[in-house]
Chains A and B, each alone.
Chain A
Amino acid sequence: MITIKNYWITDQPVDVSECIKKVTRSEAGAISTFIGIAREFTYGKRTLFLEYDAYVPMAVKQLARIGEEIKAEWPNADVAIAHRIGRLDISDVAVAIAVSTPHRDAAFKASRYAIERIKEIVPIWKKEHWEDGTKWIGDQKENVSYEKKIPIKEEMS
């Protein structure tokens, strides 16, 4: 497991309550969580299990960067994100996000932002294992051209 503060990648089961604990504090009035789990059927095609790989040190940095982006956009937010890698069976937790804020609106918006951003910039890949084969999945946000997903220069640190 590699961790930067509230952000970690692990090959062990992810416990969302760990994320919640990390963002629980007296200034918060709301905690929004998002949990991504391994889906069995995608448009009728049955998945047996998933395999996740990551460029681990960079992925943790990018999770932390998403946390910083959230704090810049929604003042007084706190964020924790855990992503699992390795083999995941159906319904296993792949990603858990918790965002705490003083009021609920920002918590909902920021947790949504976090998962969308993960699918853009965090170097983690999912391999589907079907009954009749396997495939590395890429570009799940098909409405966005890949060129536009490259972080703009100003965003690069």
Chain B
Amino acid sequence: MIELLFFAQLQEIVGSSKLTIDANNISVHEIKEKYLSKYDVKELLNQAMIAVNEEYAKEDAIVSNGDVVAFIPPVSGG
């Protein structure tokens, strides 16, 4: 199982802060194609940074069972 986290506007459109998918050894890019294409978030996802287990990562990062993938829209703290 891989946990997907969504924040801000992404969270509102997906309708949940968290999704759990039954997948293993898959790239973040593939997750987007396979599990997230049904949501109307393509542009937002393309703008988002990726974090795997709370560290920034690239879209070609391979994730496996137990990993947490966060989709981080442009930030606006401060």
Instruction: Tell me the minimal C-beta distance from B49 to chain A in angstroms.
Output: 6
The segment from A18-26, A69-77, A100-108, A122-130 found at the interface with B is: A122-130
Is the Cβ of B49 less than 8 Å from the Cβ of A122?
A: no
Q: B7, B47, B70, B75: which contacts A120 (Cβ < 8 A)? A: B75
Considering the complex, which residues of chain A in the window 27-54 have a beta carbon less than 8 Å from any beta carbon of chain B? 36, 52-54
> In the complex, how many residues of chain A place their beta carbon closer than 8 angstroms to a beta carbon of chain B?
35
**Quick check: A137 and B54 within 8 Å, CB to CB?**
no
- Residues of chain A from 100 to 157 with CB closer than 8 A to chain B in the complex: 115, 118-127, 136-140, 146, 149-151, 153, 156-157
User: Complex formed: what's the CA distance from A124 to B5 in Å?
Assistant: 14
Chain B residues positioned under 8 Å from A153 (CB to CB): 58
Shortest Cβ gap from B55 to chain A (Å)? 6
Interface secondary structure of A, over-half rule: mixed
CA gap between A23 and B57 in the complex, in Å: 32
User: Of B8, B54, B56, B78, which is within 8 A of A53 by CB?
Assistant: B8
In the complex with contacts A55-B7, A125-B8, A138-B76 CB distance below 8 A: yes
CA distance A157 to B76 in the complex (A): 23
Determine whether B51 belongs to the interface, using a CB cutoff of 8 Å to chain A.
yes
> Which size class do B's interface residues fall under?
20 to 34
Is the beta-carbon distance between B54 and A138 smaller than 8 angstroms?
no
Q: Kindly identify which residue among A94, A138, A156 contacts B8, using a CB–CB cutoff of 8 Å.
A: A138
The answer to whether A157 and B55 have CB atoms under 8 Å apart is: yes
**Which residues of B have CB within 8 Å of A136?**
8-9, 12, 73, 76
* Cα A58 to Cα B77 with chains together (Å): 13
Contact present for B7 and A123 (CB under 8 Å): yes
* Residue of B47, B51, B56, B72 contacting most chain A CB atoms (<10 Å): B56
Point out the residues of chain B lying under 8 angstroms from A79, CB to CB: none
Expressed in whole angstroms, the minimum distance between the Cβ of B53 and any Cβ of chain A is: 9
Question: Complex: how many Å from CA A51 to CA B49?
Answer: 21
Complex contact B5–A55 (CB within 8 A): yes
Which of A61, A126, A136, A156 has most B Cβ within 10 Å? A136
> Residue on A with the closest CB to B49?
A150
CA distance A124 to B70 in the complex (A): 13
Q: Are A127 and B78 in contact, with the CB atoms below 8 A?
A: no
Interface hub of A52, A125, A140, A157 (most chain B Cβ within 10 A): A125
